[in-house]
Amino acid sequence: AGSNRGAANARARSAPAANGAHDVGFALRLTDDAVRQVSLAGDFNGWDASALPMVRDPADGTWRVRVPL
């Protein structure tokens, strides 16, 4: 089960990919340093939390993932 811990600031950006789709980048900054795993889930991946794990940038603590849509 998921957990909502700490405050969050999220954003998404889109850029055309080589195949004509859009490469969408998602970024999430959490204020809770105890968070060890973040995933992106929605209708586009059947709400599968394991399908798109986000990667934490150690420099600024932002979690990121890029998705071709």
Q: Which tens digit of pLDDT belongs to each residue from 41-55? A: 998 889 999 999 999
* Residue ranges in the chain modelled with pLDDT below 50: 1-4, 6
Q: How far apart are CA 30 and CA 17, in angstroms?
A: 28
Place of tokens 């999220």: 10
The answer, as to whether pTM is greater than 0.75, is no
